[in-house]
């Protein structure tokens, strides 16, 4: 039909669909929980549109009935997507881990800013464990989960950084008030900044419902104005002191932007991150070298050049910027393990080749260890080629083979031979490393 001659009910349905379409990206990218204000707002809008669709009079006409049905299905799809985003098992896992971090902050950090002794090693270890577990939450490439994981990590890492910076700076502050009248005011501002630091941590972690980002920003801006108004009379040490406190305030103001940044940034999408692209480039080359080695007719000819290039790849990974992002750190760690595992594979192959050339008597226990190392070399080649998950039959088979080699090593009696003891210990470590690498390859982690 011409638009001008279109039935009013069809026109109304198209208007409703346009309104629904306008919030589709908000729904697909929603990373909160079902009790969030934004969830309720989006749910209310979509429910209202469903009522609007239902109120459209079809006049018994088939084309209008079909159009209304399609509009209702699309709106219901978005409502279902919204609900799934908020209640996805991995989204709830992220929230549970975040609540553990909240409990740590309440117990260990808030008392510190209220006059407690210090932030304990227990807190630092606890937060590090939380960060590590968050980086391992699977997102399956789902935007809402990636955003939720990124925003949660950003807040927890900010708290970690605030505390670390505070602990580093404490010994040099404050200056003696006898140095200059302005010092008393700077000391006073610094004390307020320290209190605000504790408030900011509580705010970021959601353990302070009485404070808002806007009010805290006004407080910090006011402290900044107080410092700007001071006359330091050209005294370098006092000017530097003031500068240090100003830098502290500016840093805290940047942390306050995290909540707003969380809804606007695409930093959660690491697929196009410069550091991740460098890591992927290294991994691509490593896989090419691995394929060449595993498929070569005469592998020993490639060992030297392959090891040299792989060492160079390790150097490239060392230069990757982590950008204070735990997911990038984890991606780099895993890439280093991938490259080092291939180097270890070549080292073992070379050692086995050299041993063939040696025709000398050796202790039976030592020979038993070398037999196991030969088996481990073959299994490691299979593990390097493995590309599956932990439910695959091949994974189970490889795991059983490695466990069998560990049991064989356990049964080797060195009979007091130190050389044999050391060889067995190295072989056990190698078998365990191959097992760990198999686990790493099959845990379906993604950034």
Mean pLDDT along residues 124-129: 88
* Residues 430-444 pLDDT 10s: 999 999 999 998 887
DSSP string across 382-416: HHHH----TTSHHHHHHHHHHHHHHHHHHH---TT
Q: Cα(441)–Cα(123) distance, rounded to whole angstroms? A: 31
Q: Structure tokens of 384?
A: 């390097």
Residue range 62-88: mean pLDDT, rounded: 93
Taking residues 87-103, report their average pLDDT.
94
pLDDT band of 260, cuts 50, 70, 90: low
Of the candidate CATH numbers 1.20.58.120, 3.40.50.300, 3.40.50.720, 3.40.190.10, the domain formed by 8-87 belongs to 1.20.58.120
Mean pLDDT along residues 75-87: 95
The mean pLDDT value of the chain amounts to: 86
With a CB cutoff of 8 Å and minimum separation 6, the contacts of 419 are 363, 366
Task: State the alpha helices, DSSP H only, in 23-109.
Answer: 24-28, 37-55, 62-87, 89-104
Alpha carbon 434 to its chain's center: 24
Alpha helices, DSSP H only, in 105-142?
A: 110-113, 121-135
pLDDT single digits (tens) 340-373:
999 999 999 999 988 888 767 778 888 899 999 9
Dump the DSSP string for 164-198. HHHHHHGGG----TTS-HHHHHHHHHHHHHHHHHH
For domain 271-356, is the CATH number 2.40.340.10? no
Reply yes or no on whether the pLDDT at 384 is more than 50: yes
- The rounded distance, in Å, linking the Cα atoms of 163 and 105 is 11
**Residue-wise burial string across 155-178, b where 16 or more C-beta atoms lie within 10 A, e elsewhere:** bbbbbbebbeebeeeeeeebbeee
pLDDT at 24 over 90: yes
Please state whether the peptide bond connecting residue 244 to the residue before it is cis, i.e. omega within 30 degrees of 0.
Answer: no
Per-residue pLDDT, 138: 87
pLDDT tens for each residue of 401-431: 999 999 999 998 888 778 888 889 999 999 9
Q: Band of the pLDDT at 261, cuts 50, 70, 90?
A: low
Share of the chain above pLDDT 70, in %: 89
Number of Cβ within 10 Å of residue 40's Cβ equals 11
Please give the Cα distance from 420 to 129 (Å, whole number).
Answer: 38
CATH dotted code for 360-446:
1.20.58.120
- Higher-pLDDT residue of 110 and 126 is 126
173: Cα within 13 Å, side-chain hemisphere:
24
Residues with Cβ within 8 Å of 15's Cβ and at least 6 positions away in sequence, in order, are none
d(CA 159, CA 256): 11
What letter does residue 309 receive in the DSSP assignment? H
Q: Does the pLDDT of residue 271 top 90, yes or no?
A: no
Neighbours of 290 (CB within 10 A): 20
Separation between Cα atoms, residue 332 and residue 339, nearest integer Å:
11
Read off the pLDDT band of 297 (50, 70, 90): confident
- Checking if the pLDDT of 112 tops 70, the result is no
pLDDT band at 196 (very low <50, low <70, confident <90, very high): confident
Q: What percent of the chain has a predicted confidence (pLDDT) above 90?
A: 44
Confidence of residue 2 (pLDDT cuts 50, 70, 90): very low
So what's the pLDDT on residue 341? 95
Terminal CA-to-CA distance of the chain, rounded, Å? 49
pLDDT in tens, 130-180: 998 999 898 888 889 988 998 898 888 888 888 877 766 554 455 565 556
């Amino acid at each position: 039909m011409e638009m001008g001659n279109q039935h009013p009910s069809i026109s109304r349905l198209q208007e409703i669909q346009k309104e629904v379409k306008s919030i589709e990206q908000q729904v697909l990218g929603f990373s909160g929980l079902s009790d969030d204000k934004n969830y309720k707002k989006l749910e209310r809008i979509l429910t209202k549109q469903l009522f609007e669709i239902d109120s459209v009079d079809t006049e018994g006409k088939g084309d209008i009935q079909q159009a209304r049905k399609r509009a209702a299905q699309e709106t219901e799809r978005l409502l279902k997507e919204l609900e799934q985003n908020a209640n996805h098992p991995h989204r709830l896992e992220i929230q549970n881990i975040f609540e553990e971090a909240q409990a740590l902050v309440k117990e260990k950090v808030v008392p510190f800013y209220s006059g407690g002794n210090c932030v304990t090693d227990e807190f630092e270890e606890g937060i590090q464990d939380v960060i590590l577990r968050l980086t391992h939450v699977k997102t399956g490439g789902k935007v809402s989960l990636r955003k939720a994981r990124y925003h949660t990590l950003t807040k927890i890492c900010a708290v970690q950084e605030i505390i670390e910076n505070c602990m580093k700076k404490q010994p040099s502050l404050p200056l003696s008030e006898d140095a200059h009248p302005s010092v008393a005011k700077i000391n006073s501002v610094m004390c307020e900044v320290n209190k605000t630091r504790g408030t900011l941590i509580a705010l970021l972690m959601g353990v302070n419902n009485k404070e808002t980002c806007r009010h805290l920003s006004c407080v910090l801006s006011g402290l900044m104005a107080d410092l700007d108004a001071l006359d330091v009379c050209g005294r370098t040490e006092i000017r530097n002191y003031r500068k240090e406190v100003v830098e502290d305030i500016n840093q805290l103001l940047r942390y306050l932007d995290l909540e707003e940044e969380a809804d606007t940034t695409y930093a959660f999408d690491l697929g196009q991150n410069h550091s991740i692209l460098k890591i992927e480039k290294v991994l691509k080359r490593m896989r090419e070298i691995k394929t060449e080695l595993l498929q070569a007719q005469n592998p020993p000819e490639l060992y030297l050049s392959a090891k040299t290039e792989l060492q160079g790849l390790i150097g490239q990974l060392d230069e990757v910027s982590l950008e204070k992002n735990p997911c990038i750190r984890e991606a780099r760690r895993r890439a280093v393990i991938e490259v080092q595992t291939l180097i270890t594979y070549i080292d073992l192959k070379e050692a086995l080749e050299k041993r063939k050339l040696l025709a000398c008597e050796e202790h039976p226990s030592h020979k038993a260890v070398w037999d196991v190392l030969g088996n481990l070399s073959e299994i490691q080649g299979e593990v390097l080629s493995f590309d599956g998950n932990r439910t695959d039959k091949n994974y189970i088979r490889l795991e059983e083979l490695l466990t069998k080699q560990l049991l064989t090593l356990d049964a080797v009696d060195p009979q007091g031979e130190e050389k044999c003891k050391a060889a067995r210990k190295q072989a056990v470590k190698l078998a365990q490393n191959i097992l760990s690498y198999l686990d790493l390859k099959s845990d379906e982690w993604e950034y």
